[in-house]
Amino acid sequence: MTPHHKTKTRAPQRPGARGWVGRGRGEATLLDPASEFRGTTVQVCGLWPWVAGSGTPMIGVPIGRHISTGATLCCDPISWFQRAKLIRNPSVFFLGLTSLGKSTTVRRMATGLAGYGVLPMVLGDLKPDYVDMVTALGGQVIRLGRGRGHLNVLDPGEAKNAARRLREAGCEKQAQEIEADAHGRRLTMVTALLAILRKQAPSDVEESILDQALRVLDQQTTHTPVLADLLTVIQQAPDSVREVAVDRGDFNEYQRITRGLEASLISLSRGGRLGEVFAQPTTNPMRMDRPVVYDVSSVTETEEDLRSAVLLACWSNGFATVNIAQALSDAGLEPRRHYFVIMDELWQALRAGTGMVDRVDSLTRLNRTVGVGTAMITHTISDLRALPTPEDYLKAKGFVERSGMVICGGLPQAEMSDLTPIVGLSQAEQDMLVSWQDPPAWDSRRGEEAEPPGLGKFLVKVGGRPGIPIRVDLTVTERQIHDTNKLWHQQSRLGGQP
């Protein structure tokens, strides 16, 4: 007999799961499933035997239940980074088709984090999805849009004040950093507006002219400047600006170089498509000690340019405020605050044209990430693929790659070839995501569409580890506060339906 054969015939030392298998030996043919109970360690501390722990740590905001085991999943970028040490940086990237519950899930995270003392900052709410939540949390709602509110792109916001306070406290270096950051952000915003307006990025000479003109403007004025003041500086042609324009002492040459710039700035500062929102003094300055939402829902879908510009401006302002708050608390001048920054509908800002990814990248960088979590939300990788140049796509892909965790909802099959190299999905995971994008069935009894199969279902991926499939169930309060079909429901009630 071969050794292999020997092991096979040797009698087992212990009975198997069904007892000693075979007739007359007590084999159990029918197995009663054991009842399962779930409880916290405090509630069931004395229970023994057969206790099993859950797979993921119970650290963070309770998000949903594991689809197959029913175990609770607690998960949010800040807790998983700071306390559970599961992810490399406190950020989450959401991908998934529309109306499958991305914003709703992020809102759950934000509400939970607010309970831990983290301030949610929603930088640009197009629906509005978050206004009710922020209002319920006692936060600040900043309305932007034609006739609703202005955001002056040249307003340094709290930066001036903060730099002064830092100087008084003897932190010269930090004060300079804040000023440099504010200058950079304002320049990026003006160039972004020009790029969106002209559908073409400004040339590098024009950028240097703007850069220098902004510096001159800051030296000249004591009040907060607006775009019209910037235009005046360029028209006045101070020496330092003429120097970077390289006009070689020829004023006619200077006028030729700055002509395009002047025309664009005139268009912006006289109102125009974009100017109305960005060229007036800021109506409602952002606070750093409260939850904040920028309500930009009045900008309609057809105004694509304005949407991108508004989103970009919100991100710029929001990140500037967070940076300032962090610098002030590092210097001991303000209490340490934690923020959860939400950027929904990322693709709407990216598609505004060439180089937009770079601007988003530079505006959404934080000098200090201590206690700041970010959430970026978009539909699909194909949205990023549709960006004007391959470089833009690579950079946008970097947003996903650099995120601490990626949470995917239902996605089409065509996404998988692009997504798998970035997120590392197994075949089973891919099949699951694709099944979640199936259209909803028709519920003939109720005469309406049933819930789509992928509603509230997500796969949580961290690094190359197997994903955690979860289902998010809304609480009664959440259902009431966040009914995005509010108007629709009111209408059907008015229409006399039961």
The residues of the shown chain that bind ligand ADP, judged by CB under 6 A, are 96, 98-104, 129, 455-456, 472, 474, 482, 484-485
CA 78 – CA 372 distance, rounded (Å): 7
What angle separates helix 304-330 from helix 159-168, to the nearest 10 degrees?
10
CA 51 – CA 41 distance, rounded (Å): 10
Q: In which order are the strands placed within the sheet that holds 91-95?
A: 72-74, 62-66, 468-471, 457-461, 405-408, 91-95, 372-378, 338-343, 118-125, 292-295, 140-143
Minimum distance between the CB of residue 485 and ligand ADP, rounded to whole angstroms?
5
| Smaller CB separation from Mg ion, 103 or 152 | 103
Long-range contacts of 237-242 (CB under 8 A, 24+ apart): 240/212, 240/215, 240/216, 241/209, 241/212, 241/213, 241/216
What angle separates helix 416-423 from helix 427-435, to the nearest 10 degrees?
130
Minimum distance between the CB of residue 103 and ligand ADP, rounded to whole angstroms?
3
Length of the chain: 498
Distances (CA, A) of 318 to 158, 260, 291: 11, 30, 11
CA 212 – CA 495 distance, rounded (Å): 60
Binding partner of 474, given ligand ADP, Mg ion, none, CB within 5-8 angstroms per partner class = ligand ADP
In this chain, which residue has its C-beta nearest to ligand ADP? 456
Binding partner of 202, given ligand ADP, Mg ion, none, CB within 5-8 angstroms per partner class = none
What angle separates helix 251-269 from helix 204-220, to the nearest 10 degrees?
80
| Smaller CB separation from Mg ion, 268 or 376 | 376
Binding partner of 469, given ligand ADP, Mg ion, none, CB within 5-8 angstroms per partner class = none
Minimum distance between the CB of residue 456 and ligand ADP, rounded to whole angstroms?
2
| Smaller CB separation from ligand ADP, 96 or 202 | 96
β partners of residue 292: 121, 140
Q: What is the DSSP string of 197-224?
A: HHTSPPPHHHHHHHHHHHHHHHHH-SSP
| Smaller CB separation from ligand ADP, 161 or 480 | 480
| Smaller CB separation from Mg ion, 96 or 275 | 96
Tell me the three-class secondary structure of 116-166, residue by residue.
CCEEEEEEEECCCCCHHHHHHCCCEEEECECCCECCCCCCCCCHHHHHHHH
Strands (E), 362-465: 372-378, 405-408, 442-443, 448-449, 457-461
Binding partner of 435, given ligand ADP, Mg ion, none, CB within 5-8 angstroms per partner class = none
| Smaller CB separation from Mg ion, 122 or 328 | 122
Q: Which residues, in sequence order, are CB contacts of 396 under 8 Å at separation 6+?
A: 350, 357, 384, 387
Minimum distance between the CB of residue 484 and ligand ADP, rounded to whole angstroms?
4
Minimum distance between the CB of residue 123 and ligand ADP, rounded to whole angstroms?
16
Binding partner of 308, given Mg ion, ligand ADP, none, CB within 5-8 angstroms per partner class = none
| Smaller CB separation from ligand ADP, 158 or 345 | 345
β partners of residue 340: 120, 373
Query: Comparing C-alpha atoms, which of 50, 118, 53, 30 is closest to residue 337?
Result: 118
Binding partner of 482, given Mg ion, ligand ADP, none, CB within 5-8 angstroms per partner class = ligand ADP
| Smaller CB separation from ligand ADP, 98 or 203 | 98
| Smaller CB separation from Mg ion, 103 or 111 | 103
Minimum distance between the CB of residue 377 and Mg ion, rounded to whole angstroms?
6
Residues that bind Mg ion (CB under 5 A): 103
Minimum distance between the CB of residue 151 and ligand ADP, rounded to whole angstroms?
24
Residue 52 structure tokens:
């099993």
| Smaller CB separation from ligand ADP, 99 or 267 | 99
Minimum distance between the CB of residue 455 and ligand ADP, rounded to whole angstroms?
5
Query: Comparing C-alpha atoms, which of 352, 264, 373 is closest to residue 308?
Result: 352
Minimum distance between the CB of residue 411 and Mg ion, rounded to whole angstroms?
15
Binding partner of 456, given Mg ion, ligand ADP, none, CB within 5-8 angstroms per partner class = ligand ADP
Minimum distance between the CB of residue 99 and ligand ADP, rounded to whole angstroms?
4
